[in-house]
Structure 1
Amino acid sequence: MTTKILLNAVKLVFLCVITTSSAQEINTGKFGSGLFNLKGKDSSFTMKIGLRFQTLANFNWDIDNGLSNPNSSFLIRRSRLKFDGFAFSPKLKYKLELGLSNRDQSGISQFTSNAPRYVMDAVLKWNFAGNFVLWFGQTKLPGNRERVISSGDLQQVDRSLLNSRFNIDRDIGIQLRHRFNLTDTFLIKEIFSISQGEGRNVTTGNVGGYQYTTRIEFFPFGNFTSKGDYKGSDLKFEKKPKLSVGVSYDFNNNAVRNRSNQGAYMLNDTGFYSTNISTLFIDAMYKHKGFSFMGEYANRNAQDAIAKNSDGTLTGDIVQVGNGLNLQTGYLFSKTVELSARYTNVTLNKNITGKGAENQYTLGISKYIAGHKLKVQSDISYTDIGFKTNKLLYRLQVDIHF
């Protein structure tokens, strides 16, 4: 029923676009710049409507004295409908992004009213004074760089193991953003966020405490071209070296999920088990003449990582505490072909989680037909897992953006 409602809503949007053409200017640009670009005749609003999806093929094997237990899958990894522009004034921008694939909508639970999680982003951005911008709504928190990079702008098929274990993803709240120049070329950006602390599309209220996130970024050689500090690969072939170094600290007060605002809810005999969880990210992005390098470090700690009942007995739930390191590089041999490599280490606290270290080695190749808007990407990964069978993974993905 809910799927039919969403499809009808999408149809209604396009019907409105067609039937209201007399009241607005409708412009279409080059491929990848949006399906429709609307502008009110009085210039009181704009709206860009975009659509993208990724088709992915996975092939994986266990490595135990040879290749065994082969498995394969084909899926629509992501499918998104996006709207953005400004309302009333260019100083008030907005973004709405809907997830249409099954993977986008996963996470149905009593905390999301047992309904698919269609809404990815729904955020207003108000430039209320100078270089100060206030964000209000649901969007990505200012956590690790790799997570904030759009899934459509990645250098490889998908994000790393560090991201899957430690990222703080999206949440609902407010963010205050500011930027200033220390010198003519040295740029600094700051972000402070207060959010609900339980992830996106939670409708039952704030079960634990609030989540506080702060981030600062340093650009000693100035800003990147076309927001390249949050895009994989140096497709703009930066003529001069560009570097961004970022530090994020996240504190989730009385968190009730085992990965801060992500993962499973922790339950005990009185309801929810809660504990303070802190996460630190240090990352960097460097680009110059087709060469790119990204490095990330993550650390998660908890005040008491082992969930307990009121009488002190263990529930079996555990906060996923530990460290992660991700190093990734790529080089464009032409404007359309790139080789990339990645090394990722995830080391959870073995005394608490009972899990050892994971090391993943990935080699990728990308063909950019129209930059990130139309590309074919492939990679192969070997994962050395200390506590279970090692894995070999091959992936092939086509990504298209309108």
Structure 2
Amino acid sequence: MKNAIYAFIACLLFTLNLHSQEISDTKFGKGLINFTAKDSSFSVKFAPRIQFRSYTSWNYDGESYESPEQSFLIRRARLKFDGWALTPKLEYKIELGLSNNDIGGANVFTNNAPRYILDAVLKWNFHENFELWAGQTKLPGNVERVISSGNLQLIDRSILNSRFNLDRDIGLQLHHKINLGENFVIKEKFALSQGEGRNISTGNIGGLKYTGRLEFLPLGEFTKGGDYSQADLVNEESPKLMMGVVYDFNDDAVKTRSSQGSYMILDDGSFYQTDITTFFADAVFKYKGLSIMTEYANRTAKDPVAMQTGESDPAGFVVLEGNAFNFQAGYMLGNNYEIAARYTTNDYEEISSRPDAEVYTLGASKYVVGHKLKIQADLNYAKENNLNDEIVFRFGFDFHF
């Protein structure tokens, strides 16, 4: 797989060199390559992107803050392709990750190979407002997760998302939209997936995963899909509101966080299985430079404590049950500057043995070319069980053709 990617990149660079003297009518932020076949049989857009991050943290030892720890990171480095084939009603998306954060997590269930593939999905608009998706992509979970990492108004997503999100999975999805009257819009999204996350290559171990999301937009649709892009960069002229609810049921789940987390492997090599249910409620509001997003998450399991087969001894695995709340808001100033703030809590069940967490974040962004080229910084104050405090300063930029 690695050699194939390198060969593809080499071919792509060679093609670009052949056309280096040609003048294209595209522009930065619209894709490095935009191509439509002469016979209109397909189209392709290629848009690579990178995210650079710097982290500086101070930990509290009970008496004072320790000397800072500092690190640099390529948080994301991705190759994104999308377009259509045969008809604009048959779309595709392929996204490959190259950074350590994107390809990490290899195990026997992924053939111990780097997990390059993020998205590989076909989207077929087979009838009016109905779309059938097939392949690997994000599940219709909480809005913060479905929003692209390139369209965030703070350096990264919240701790609610890091511990409760559904992420990507392999399977089928059905999307539909209803227009009621002049402005009211309802969107329904349903997914049937394998239930063990992305790039699994050894077949389904537990049961299947069932996900449904309903969205209500009583004031009409957001400009340029703004409900799935943070910050009100378009300066909505009239108020826009999206309210969503998600129900996710993972039958006989074998991971500690439904389709995420660690496999619950027992001493005899078998898997501990239990039903896991996840619920989300979220909302997005935008109006004249103001943007607000709020989320609530809840995860429960039928039998959260893994037990050895035929025994009463705990296996050392516990499903991460609990609740989380996230609220963030931003306001666009002049010259495409924005200030934003966020408050997030994770409240776990006692059996999980994880400390409850609380994070306050204050950030600022300069959008040079919207989300495609931006510079961001934020300051975070985090505490666990009101004992272990930490201050983190983050700085970075996004560069997206």
So what's the TM-score if we normalise by structure 1? 0.96
Task: Write the distance in 1 (CA, Å) between the matches of 2:89 and 2:50.
Answer: 30
Deviation at 1:19, TM superposition (A): 6.4
Task: Write the distance in 2 (CA, Å) between the matches of 1:17 and 1:305.
Answer: 53
Superposed counterparts of 1:234-383, under 5 Å: 234-270=232-268, 271-310=270-309, 311-350=311-350, 352-383=351-382
Q: Which runs of 4+ in 1 moved over 4 A?
A: 16-21, 25-28
Asked if 2 retains the 8 angstrom alpha-carbon contact of 1:27 and 1:36, the reply is: no
Superposed counterparts of 1:120-139, under 5 Å: 120-139=118-137
Deviation at 1:384, TM superposition (A): 1.5
Aligned to 1:267, the other structure's residue is in SS state coil
1:51 aligns with 2:48: yes
Aligned to 2:11, the other structure's residue is in SS state helix
Asked if 2 retains the 8 angstrom alpha-carbon contact of 1:27 and 1:37, the reply is: no
- Counterpart of 1:92? 90
Task: Write the distance in 2 (CA, Å) between the matches of 1:188 and 1:127.
Answer: 17
Task: Write the distance in 1 (CA, Å) between the matches of 2:346 and 2:56.
Answer: 22
1:218 aligns with 2:216: yes
Aligned to 2:383, the other structure's residue is in SS state strand
The more displaced of 99-108 and 381-390 is 381-390
1:208 aligns with 2:195: no
Superposed counterparts of 1:61-100, under 5 Å: 61-63=58-60, 64-100=62-98
Task: Write the distance in 2 (CA, Å) between the matches of 1:109 and 1:132.
Answer: 37
- Counterpart of 1:32? 29
The more displaced of 106-115 and 69-78 is 69-78
Task: Write the distance in 1 (CA, Å) between the matches of 2:211 and 2:353.
Answer: 29
Deviation at 1:128, TM superposition (A): 0.3
After superposition, what is the alpha-carbon deviation per residue over 1:87-144, rounded to whole angstroms, capped at 9, x for unaligned? 0000000000000111110111111100000000000000000100000000000000
Asked if 2 retains the 8 angstrom alpha-carbon contact of 1:362 and 1:381, the reply is: yes
Deviation at 1:207, TM superposition (A): 0.8
Aligned to 1:104, the other structure's residue is in SS state helix
Q: Which runs of 5+ in 2 are unaligned?
A: none
Deviation at 1:355, TM superposition (A): 3.0
Asked if 2 retains the 8 angstrom alpha-carbon contact of 1:249 and 1:279, the reply is: yes
- Counterpart of 1:196? 194
Task: Write the distance in 2 (CA, Å) between the matches of 1:306 and 1:296.
Answer: 27
Task: Write the distance in 1 (CA, Å) between the matches of 2:250 and 2:335.
Answer: 43
Task: Write the distance in 2 (CA, Å) between the matches of 1:400 and 1:142.
Answer: 26
Superposed counterparts of 1:136-215, under 5 Å: 136-215=134-213
Q: Which amino acid aligns with 1:297?
A: Y
Select 1:230's aligned residue among 224, 228, 231.
Answer: 228
Task: Write the distance in 2 (CA, Å) between the matches of 1:114 and 1:356.
Answer: 31
Deviation at 1:389, TM superposition (A): 1.9
Task: Write the distance in 2 (CA, Å) between the matches of 1:3 and 1:219.
Answer: 43
Deviation at 1:357, TM superposition (A): 2.0
The more displaced of 265-274 and 7-16 is 7-16
Deviation at 1:71, TM superposition (A): 1.3
After superposition, what is the alpha-carbon deviation per residue over 1:173-195, rounded to whole angstroms, capped at 9, x for unaligned? 00000001122100000001000
Asked if 2 retains the 8 angstrom alpha-carbon contact of 1:141 and 1:169, the reply is: yes
So what's the TM-score if we normalise by structure 2? 0.96
Task: Write the distance in 1 (CA, Å) between the matches of 2:226 and 2:212.
Answer: 21
Q: Which runs of 5+ in 1 are unaligned?
A: none
Deviation at 1:14, TM superposition (A): 4.0
Distance 1:26 1:134, change over 3 A: farther
Task: Write the distance in 1 (CA, Å) between the matches of 2:132 and 2:12.
Answer: 28
Deviation at 1:387, TM superposition (A): 7.1
Aligned to 1:369, the other structure's residue is in SS state strand
Deviation at 1:354, TM superposition (A): 2.2
After superposition, what is the alpha-carbon deviation per residue over 1:137-189, rounded to whole angstroms, capped at 9, x for unaligned? 00000000000000000010000000001001000000000001122100000
Q: Which amino acid aligns with 1:340?
A: A
After superposition, what is the alpha-carbon deviation per residue over 1:325-354, rounded to whole angstroms, capped at 9, x for unaligned? 00000001124100100000000001x112
Q: Which amino acid aligns with 2:363?
A: G
Task: Write the distance in 2 (CA, Å) between the matches of 1:363 and 1:107.
Answer: 31
Asked if 2 retains the 8 angstrom alpha-carbon contact of 1:258 and 1:319, the reply is: yes
Task: Write the distance in 2 (CA, Å) between the matches of 1:159 and 1:228.
Answer: 17
Aligned to 2:103, the other structure's residue is in SS state coil
Deviation at 1:27, TM superposition (A): 4.7
Q: Which amino acid aligns with 1:113?
A: N
Task: Write the distance in 2 (CA, Å) between the matches of 1:298 and 1:180.
Answer: 26
Aligned to 1:197, the other structure's residue is in SS state coil
Task: Write the distance in 2 (CA, Å) between the matches of 1:120 and 1:19.
Answer: 29
Deviation at 1:54, TM superposition (A): 0.4
Asked if 2 retains the 8 angstrom alpha-carbon contact of 1:28 and 1:34, the reply is: no
Distance 1:123 1:395, change over 3 A: same
The more displaced of 83-92 and 2-11 is 2-11
Asked if 2 retains the 8 angstrom alpha-carbon contact of 1:344 and 1:361, the reply is: yes
Deviation at 1:371, TM superposition (A): 0.7
After superposition, what is the alpha-carbon deviation per residue over 1:52-83, rounded to whole angstroms, capped at 9, x for unaligned? 00010001111232211521110100001010
Root-mean-square deviation over aligned CA pairs: 1.6
Deviation at 1:18, TM superposition (A): 6.3
